Structure 1
């Protein structure tokens, strides 16, 4: 914010076409927290496919987010410091790059889960990890105290 060294946060919400509209009430006295709703359109229902839905949905909303942030910056009321994006919205990094600000990823699970994802990804880079699927094997995942049976992994 221009007047002072206060932090203000704008949360931009991309509404899924199949979810009921949520009502968010922003207190009038709280100018430092703002919610901006991107309305869901019938057009976004056409993006629903089993394999690419999240990717296509986020890509479809990049232009909307770019326009919203551009209007905020042009108004002169804010100094844009960066983007914090959900782990499913990493593609919004392109929008942050357009404004020359950093992107921070908010991971919605605990550190152990993140460590497991890194471990599984590293194993995937070494070869086909589905070979472990039917084995009675326990993996020494560094972010877990105990070894993890392969059969309980997603």
Structure 2
């Protein structure tokens, strides 16, 4: 039976290329699996020449059983001349994604495959609603670290269950006991994206929806402890999705970055040694039989098991 997975990435450098590579691994791991990657245009403030060039190159990428469909600003539910806030931006593309998948799922198509699920990026959880409309499971693509995922889920618990105002952590000397971490986390190390009122609401809204995806064992290269690789560089999560946020973030000079990298590169640096060991472990993880490779095999098996269960039902 021919199977079809729909992958919906977040259009940014840290999310789209990894998901494209994942799609290649998936089709290589199952001869009857095809993948459609539906790309939602990045928000205006995140558009760069290099990102635009990469997205344009997808249509010419030679790969069997992988299809790329790039939506445009005109596909948005609202006027393309207005820019909704971050949370409603992906929401505005739900009708276009639904229409695209409906065409893929048209029984009249000669090359019709059975739709078996959605893989949605951590910033595109609104698309779980579309998967539900097609009565297929959703899986979460989370390219950030296992430690950050644990912290995100814990923050959602503090806010929704404990009714705790996490804004109190800003400039605090308190330490958090996070179940997913092996040691307490100083409040001053909590990413600023979780302490900014506007962006916290985004973090929490996605974390709530993570629980609606199909349960899969977390694959973090089985190194949740991160091997003690935290280095005291003052970055407050200045990621792509904080590019447009008006927050008071501490800037790091080029000289300070150079000095700290220099410290890491010393031959006798303990951190350098741990980085080397992590690199080796990561390499082993993606090889045949490694933890990451094994997780990929389990995911494909889970998708095919869903089909078997549905047939029996």
Q: Is the 8 A contact 2:2 2:34 kept in 1?
A: no
Change in CA separation of 1:17 and 1:141 when aligned onto 2, cut-off 3 Å? closer
The SS at the match of 1:144 is: coil
Whichever structure has more strand as a proportion of its residues is 1
Q: Is the 8 A contact 1:26 1:33 kept in 2?
A: no
Change in CA separation of 1:44 and 1:88 when aligned onto 2, cut-off 3 Å? farther
Q: Is the 8 A contact 1:26 1:34 kept in 2?
A: no
Change in CA separation of 1:151 and 1:17 when aligned onto 2, cut-off 3 Å? closer
CA distance in 2, matches of 1:66, 1:135: 45
Matched with 2:71 is 38
Matched with 1:56 is 88
CA distance in 2, matches of 1:65, 1:129: 35
Q: Is the 8 A contact 2:40 2:72 kept in 1?
A: yes
Q: Is the 8 A contact 1:47 1:56 kept in 2?
A: no
Pairing 1:8–2:52 present: no
Matched with 2:61 is 26
1:17 Cα deviation (Å)?
Answer: 5.1
The SS at the match of 1:9 is: strand
Matched residue pairs, number? 148
Structure 2: gaps (5+ residues): 4-29, 193-313
CA distance in 1, matches of 2:144, 2:165: 25
1:37 Cα deviation (Å)?
Answer: 0.6
Matched with 1:106 is 141
Q: Which moved more, 1:104-113 or 1:16-25?
A: 16-25
Matched with 1:137 is 174
Q: Is the 8 A contact 1:82 1:101 kept in 2?
A: yes
Pairing 1:47–2:79 present: no
Q: Is the 8 A contact 1:83 1:104 kept in 2?
A: yes
User: TM-score w.r.t. structure 1 length?
Assistant: 0.83
1:45 Cα deviation (Å)?
Answer: 4.3
Q: Is the 8 A contact 1:17 1:45 kept in 2?
A: no
Matched with 1:82 is 117
1:138 Cα deviation (Å)?
Answer: 1.5
Computed over aligned residues only, the root mean square deviation of the Cα atoms, in angstroms, reads 2.3
